[in-house]
Each structure stands twice: as C-alpha cells, then as structure tokens.
C-alpha cells in the first residue's frame, strides 16, 4: 500500500491485501468512525455481470444477513459504487483452519472443539434454510481467541432454491469434500450434503490428510462414491463409528444433525471454555427438531408461545438492508422477483407471534417454532409445486417496535403471494404499522396508540 492511507467512501481506512478471488480482493481495514478492525471484500461489478453471477452475489448477502451465529463470519455492512460492491465483514485474525491442518493432524481435544463449533454453526444455518455447499478447512477461519468462524457463502443455497422434488440440483463444491450424491447429479438434500462435508473435515482434523484422495479426479470420485473408509490406528473407536455414519454414501441412511449432537463423543469434553458459546446457541433448535404449536393444548401452546417470542435483535444496517431501497438487484440492473413481504409493528413480539398463530389457524396452516424469533407456516395439502411453506422472522428494533419479514421457503410463488395478501395481511391488520411499500400509518393502529413523549423510530423507506 502507498504511504498515504486510502479512505474508502470516507468510512474505512484500507490496509494490506489479505487475499484475492475470482471477482475481487479482500483487504484489511479500520473504521474511521469506531476504529474497529474489519475485512473488506471488494467485488468487481463488471466481472460479476459478464459471468452472470449477479444473483449469486445477492444470494450471498441474503444468506449472511440471515445467518447470525458466533461461529459464522458476520456481515457488518454492504456498500456500492458504479463499479464496485464492498462487503464489510468481521475479520478473523487467526487465519484459515487449513493452515493448521496443513502442518499435520491436530490433537483430539482441539479437533473436538473445532468440530463441535462447526456442527453448531452448520446446524444453525440449516435451521435458517441455508445450505453452505462448500464446507472445507479453507473456508473455515479462526478468530484471535482460536474460535472457529465459517466463511465464504458464495456457493450457498437457500431452502427456496429447491425444485418441486424438494432437492437441490446445482453440482458445486470442492471435489475432495463433496458428497457422492452431488457427483451423481440426480438431485440432493443440501443438509445431508453438508453433513458429509463436515465428516470429511473431522477426518482431516484428526488425520492430517483426506479420507478419499487420488491424483486422478475420476478415481477420486470413484473412491468417494464407494466411501470405503479406513480410519488411522490413532482414531478413537467412537470417532470411527461417527465418521462411518457421516460418510455414509447413501444420503437416506446418513446420520442426521440431531443424532450427531446426541453422539457421546460430540457431547463430551471440557465445557468451561465454551459456556458463552453454548449460551448463545442454546436458543437455536436443532434443524431436525421443531415444536408444532397447532396440535397442542391451549396451555402448552401458551407456554411454547412465550418461549418463541424472543426476536432477533436488529441494528441500523439491518433496517436499511431490509428496505427495498437497499435491494442490490438495482445495482446489477437485473430484475429479481420479490418473494419477501415485510411489515413493521408497534406491538411486542409476543403479540405479533400470537397474531401469526391466530392467522395460521384461520388459514389452516401449521405453525412451528424453528429458532428464536423465527417461525414456519406450513400448508396441510399439496399445492402446484409442493406444500407451501412460509418463514416469518421477527426483528427487534426497540422493545416496542419490531419488523417482520415473511419469505416463501417452499411451494408455488403465486400461491404464496395470494396467502400473504389475501389471508395473512388482513388477519394482522390491527397490529401492522406500515406494510412494505405503504408509507401511511394504519388508521386502526393510530387510534389505538396513545401519544407519548418517546416515539418509536421511523420505519425505513421502501
């Protein structure tokens, strides 16, 4: 870098180059306002447009905004100029996990710590309808405390990307870590493919080399498809048993995330160092475990309701990013079909959840708690493109001001839009302050709300 510092958009002072990828470079930077150290990923818009990857970039932003977890690299801010897009992300000063395993195998307790953090983060992603699809040590970073941080969601997929058969079909990933069903190109479950990749990572951590490797790519794929696993002599027997279940070539019989977290080797080990992490992830349900409120008694439903109204906290960047004015599709001059419906409310999260539950019952939809602040509404019958499924997430701006985002995760888009506009929106009208592109305060809400000296923040313009 030149001796004279470069200040990006009057906000970030750029430092040394950290790395370089297909579409741009990553720099170390420091906030000119808060003095916080960050990493800035600079993406060349011209290259993105020429290669037709505009949708991939918008998806990566959507995924990183959705996946907030202590073991996932955090996206702080996104900025853009006519030629560049800038991702301002958390910096991991410990470098890549790959650098550690390239020097040889890790001690069992260290490998156990990293594996546990990896599974907790990936399980959280799955609970949010996010599939990474390129899990490998090169995409796993370490912070200054030695804690794991998953990065690079460029190849990730969302649950709404599934086809009518409920599977993903885009073959992607790194050959040595990719699941056999992805190689076969007949459709695959994103969660099960990620579990396979996590199994390969665990093997590499403990062995220092790959379980299925060959200089000839075709021969390596043959080994992956057969999955003839040979554990080194120093592997604990319980780890070998777990690996055989994770590296099962049949996705139908492969171990699930729930069973992995129940595994005795996974659960054992020192807990004192990780109390903070466990506390932060304790509220996240395993991707395979949900509580169905529609079939419970009134008392049980009330109890579950009380537990499920802890909304996701939201900051100024989130508010801006939730508005249509921040839609990056306009930067690419492409038309992306909007599948999100958003509204703001002056009601507490518990009231919003209660209204969503009432609306679900009227529309004959099942309502399930997925994670803190996130619920899923599922249809009871098959639609044109499978069973309709809608994710509703509550974001807290202040204790008495919330934003709610609804998004189709499965089913037909037209059916989804009809349910939202003709069913859910009218059912929630008495708690809605502003709905998406509406800029006028709802008259019902205005009459009910008493005037106070302290007014909630204005909703973002859409």
Reading the block at residue 84, the tokens are: 């560049």
Residue 41, annotated as binding a ligand: yes
Q: How many residues does the chain have?
A: 462
460 vs 462: CA distance, rounded Å: 6
| Helices within 247-348 (DSSP H only) | 257-262, 264-267, 275-281, 298-307, 316-322, 329-332
Q: What are phi and psi of 383, to 5 degrees?
A: -100, -160
Are 76 and 320 within 8 A, CB to CB? no
Active site residue 327: no
Calculated CA dihedral for residues 71, 123, 386, 157, nearest 10 degrees = 40
CA 388 distance to own-chain centroid: 21
Are 254 and 245 within 8 A, CB to CB? yes
Q: What is the biggest distance separating any 2 CA atoms in the chain, rounded to whole angstroms?
A: 73
Q: How many CB atoms lie within 10 A of CB 335?
A: 8
| Helices within 20-91 (DSSP H only) | 45-50, 54-66
Residue 333: strand, helix, or coil: coil
Residue 304's nearest CA partner among 295, 312, 313 is 295
357 vs 366: CA distance, rounded Å: 9
The catalytically annotated residue of 123, 134, 194, 378 is 134
Q: Scan for tokens 């777990």, then name that residue.
A: 242
222 vs 225: CA distance, rounded Å: 5
Could you give the residue numbers annotated as active site? 134
User: Could you tell me which residues are annotated as the binding site for ATP?
Assistant: 41
User: Could you tell me which residues are annotated as the binding site?
Assistant: 41
């Amino acid at each position: 870098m030149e001796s004279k510092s470069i200040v990006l958009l009057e906000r970030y002072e750029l430092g040394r180059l950290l790395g370089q990828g297909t579409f741009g470079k990553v720099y170390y930077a420091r906030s000119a306002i808060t003095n916080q150290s960050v990493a800035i990923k600079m993406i060349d818009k011209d290259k993105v447009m020429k290669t037709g990857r505009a949708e991939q970039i918008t998806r990566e932003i959507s995924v990183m905004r959705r996946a907030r977890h202590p073991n996932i690299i955090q996206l702080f801010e996104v900025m853009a100029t006519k030629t560049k897009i800038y991702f301002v992300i958390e910096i991991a000063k410990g470098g890549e996990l790959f650098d550690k395993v390239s020097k040889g195998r890790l001690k069992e307790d260290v490998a156990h710590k990293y594996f546990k953090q990896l599974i907790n983060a990936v399980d959280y992603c799955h609970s949010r309808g996010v599939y990474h699809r390129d899990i490998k040590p090169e995409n796993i970073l370490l912070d200054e405390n030695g804690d794991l941080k998953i990065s690079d969601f460029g190849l990730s997929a969302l649950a709404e990307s599934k086809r009518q058969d409920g599977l993903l079909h885009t073959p992607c990933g790194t050959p040595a870590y990719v699941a056999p069903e992805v190689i076969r190109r007949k459709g695959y479950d994103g969660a099960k493919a990620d579990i396979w990749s996590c199994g390969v990572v665990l093997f590499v951590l403990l062995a220092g080399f790959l379980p299925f490797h060959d200089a000839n790519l075709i021969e390596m794929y043959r080994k992956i498809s057969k999955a003839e696993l040979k554990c080194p002599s120093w592997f604990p027997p319980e780890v070998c048993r777990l690996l055989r279940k994770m590296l099962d070539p049949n996705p139908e019989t492969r171990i699930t995330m729930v069973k992995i977290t129940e595994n005795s080797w996974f659960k054992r080990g020192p807990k004192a160092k990780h109390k903070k992490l466990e506390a932060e992830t304790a509220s996240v349900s395993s991707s395979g475990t949900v509580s169905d409120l529609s079939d419970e008694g009134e008392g049980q439903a009330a109890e579950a309701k009380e537990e499920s109204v802890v909304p996701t906290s939201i900051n100024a960047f989130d508010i801006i990013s939730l508005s249509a004015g921040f839609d990056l599709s306009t930067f690419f001059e492409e038309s992306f079909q909007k599948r999100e419906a958003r509204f703001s409310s002056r009601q507490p999260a518990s009231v919003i959840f209660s209204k969503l539950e009432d609306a679900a019952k009227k529309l004959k939809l099942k309502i399930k708690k997925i994670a803190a602040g996130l619920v899923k509404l599922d249809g009871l019958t098959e639609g044109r493109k499978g069973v309709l499924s809608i994710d509703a997430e509550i974001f807290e701006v202040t204790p008495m001001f919330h934003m709610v985002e609804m998004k189709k995760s499965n089913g037909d888009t037209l059916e989804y839009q009809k349910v939202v506009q003709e069913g859910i929106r009218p059912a929630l009208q008495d708690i809605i302050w502003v709905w998406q592109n509406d800029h006028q305060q709802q008259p019902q809400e205005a009459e009910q709300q008493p005037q106070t000296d302290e007014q909630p923040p204005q909703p973002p313009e859409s």
